[in-house]
Amino acid sequence: MNDKLKRNYSVLLGVSENASIAEIKKAYRTKAKQYHPDVSGNSDSHLQFIIINEAYTYLIKYHGVGVVKDEYNHVKFDREEWLRNERKKARARAAHHARMRYNEFKKSKIYRNSAIIAGIFDYLYLMIGVAIIVIPIVYTSIHGLDPKHPEFTLAGIVGATVIGSLFVGMILFSKIEIVDGKIKRKKADF
């Protein structure tokens, strides 16, 4: 058949247009393993995985599974109807499979423990940043400025304040996000 969509999906899965169901399934399993977000290191692997699932669903359906034929044994396949209905279903199913293992991992002990440890280090960095800001100020208020070089003491306080502010700012900005122009606290994954 000279169907452009079928040809594109066949190329995507790496099979011929006349491929058998077994060949389509084998190619799909290979590509699904290659592009699964948990396995692939690509940033767009989630979308690639969804498209691979869409191609598989279309080719299997087009191959004869659930296809209506007319009295001359020609396939009566409404591509527009499939694009509206089946594509939506295929993408939702693929998105579910792409997320499934990661969500299971987020419930595991190792993920929770690593999130707790990361939280502890965040608070540790926050305390270090505050200490870098406060200690030079307190020391100078108790002992006063160096009489020979007061500019060095002031420069030290300003430098420590900048470095401490970077520590504090880094932690605070990692805990917020800007959504629709509003600042919101990021939700914890655990």
Question: What pLDDT score does 66 carry?
Answer: 43
Question: What pLDDT score does 69 carry?
Answer: 53
83, 142: one domain: no
Question: What pLDDT score does 162 carry?
Answer: 93
> How far apart, in Å, are the Cα atoms of 111 and each of 38, 45, 132, 134, 187?
15, 22, 31, 35, 15
42, 66: one domain: yes
How far is residue 143's CA from residue 90's CA, in Å, rounded to a whole number? Answer: 71
96, 51: one domain: yes
Q: Quick: pLDDT tens for 37-66.
A: 777 777 788 788 888 888 887 787 766 544
How far is residue 113's CA from residue 120's CA, in Å, rounded to a whole number? Answer: 11
Q: Which two tokens stand for residue 30?
A: 């290979």
How far is residue 172's CA from residue 168's CA, in Å, rounded to a whole number? Answer: 6
Asked whether residue 170 carries a pLDDT value surpassing 80, the answer given is: yes
Judge whether 61 and 67 are in contact, CB under 8 Å. yes
Among the residue ranges 19-33, 126-140, 175-189, the one predicted with the least confidence is: 175-189
Judge whether 164 and 127 are in contact, CB under 8 Å. no
Select from 106, 126, 160 the last residue of a domain. Answer: 106
Asked whether residue 147 carries a pLDDT value surpassing 50, the answer given is: yes
155, 99: one domain: no
**Which of 154, 176, 156, 153 lies closest to 164 in space, CA to CA?**
156
CA 136 to chain centre: 42
Q: What does the chain come to in residues?
A: 190
Judge whether 118 and 124 are in contact, CB under 8 Å. no
Q: Which two tokens stand for residue 60?
A: 């299997």
81, 166: one domain: no
Q: Quick: pLDDT tens for 106-122.
A: 676 766 777 788 888 88
8, 57: one domain: yes
Q: Quick: pLDDT tens for 79-100.
A: 566 667 777 887 777 777 666 6
Select from 87, 106, 125 the last residue of a domain. Answer: 106
161, 113: one domain: yes
Domain assignment present for residue 190? The answer is no
Domain that holds residue 148: 109-185
